[in-house]
């Protein structure tokens, strides 16, 4: 009886050792990322980084006395909104891409009006335009989350609101000619927009895995 009990203990111990060995030697699962996914995410990042940098360039031109490049910089900034809209057309179609471009162009036009009102020290008009600016951000968040169930409306609104705050910081620093603060606001703006771009692109990839 004792011998049988001893053999049972040995057998149970051996099973445990096999289990431990198997777990220790198990290869970790490797998540493969396709070239198409990498390319889409990187391109989307680049477009949104351009959005921040050209917005900042426009603020500089619009608030600098004697600047002669404001018209050209604005044209380049508006083209960036077309580029972002075009980037989603392969998955969402022509109409959706154009809709996003329209919303983003409204975002830029309102920002330009805010710059002009702030230069004139028209605080009442700045506040009115800010309400429209944030309403436009709500529209962008609603459009993206409505098109993609993987994207949450509230998350997108928070990301867009932070983007608006950082652009406002850039404008305030430019008007005050506080260049160190402006540099910080641009750095923070780029860091944040990468997070926002990745949130959107990852949502698109999750929604359309077969396309990537």
pLDDT digits 0-9 by tens, 104-144: 999 999 999 999 999 999 999 999 999 999 999 999 999 99
Q: Helix H segments across 64-93?
A: 70-92
Alpha-carbon Rg for the chain in angstroms:
26
User: Whose CA is closest to 118, among 81, 68, 173, 162?
Assistant: 173
What is the pLDDT confidence band of residue 101, given thresholds at 50, 70 and 90? very high
- Report d(CA 93, CA 95) in Å as an integer: 6
Identify whether 20 is part of a domain: no
Residue position matching structure tokens 């990852």: 202
Identify whether 24 is part of a domain: no
Identify whether 70 is part of a domain: yes
- Residue 25 has a pLDDT of 56
- SS3 labels along 108-120: HHHHHHHHHHHHC
Identify whether 185 is part of a domain: yes
Contact 134, 114 (CB under 8 A): no
Q: What is the mean pLDDT of residues 38-44?
A: 96
Identify whether 12 is part of a domain: no
164-207: pLDDT as tens digits: 999 999 999 999 999 999 999 999 999 999 999 999 999 999 99
Identify whether 17 is part of a domain: no
What range defines the domain where residue 43 resides? 34-211
Identify whether 74 is part of a domain: yes
Give how many domains the chain has, as a whole number.
1
Distance of alpha carbon 79 from the chain centroid = 18
Which are the contacts of 195, defined by CB distance < 8 A and separation ≥ 6? 159
Res 29 pLDDT > 90: no
Identify whether 83 is part of a domain: yes
């Amino acid at each position: 009886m004792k011998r049988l009990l001893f053999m049972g203990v040995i057998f149970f111990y051996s099973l445990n050792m096999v289990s431990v060995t198997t777990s220790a030697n198990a290869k970790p699962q490797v998540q493969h990322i396709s070239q198409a996914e990498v390319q889409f995410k990187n391109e989307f990042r680049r477009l949104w980084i351009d959005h921040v940098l050209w917005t900042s360039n426009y603020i500089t031109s619009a608030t600098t006395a004697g600047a002669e490049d404001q018209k050209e910089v604005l044209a380049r900034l508006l083209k960036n909104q077309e580029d972002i809209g075009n980037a989603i057309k392969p998955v969402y179609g022509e109409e959706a891409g154009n809709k996003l471009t329209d919303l983003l162009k409204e975002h830029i036009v309102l920002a330009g009006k805010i710059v002009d009102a702030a230069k004139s020290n028209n605080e009442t008009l700045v506040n009115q335009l800010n309400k429209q600016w944030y309403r436009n951000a709500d529209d962008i968040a609603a459009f993206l989350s409505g098109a993609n169930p993987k994207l949450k409306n509230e998350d997108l609104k928070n990301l867009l609101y932070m983007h608006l705050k950082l652009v406002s910081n850039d404008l305030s620093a430019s008007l005050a000619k506080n260049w160190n603060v402006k540099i910080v606001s641009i750095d923070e703006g780029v860091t944040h927009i990468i997070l926002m771009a990745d949130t959107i692109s990852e949502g698109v990839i999750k929604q359309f895995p077969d396309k990537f």
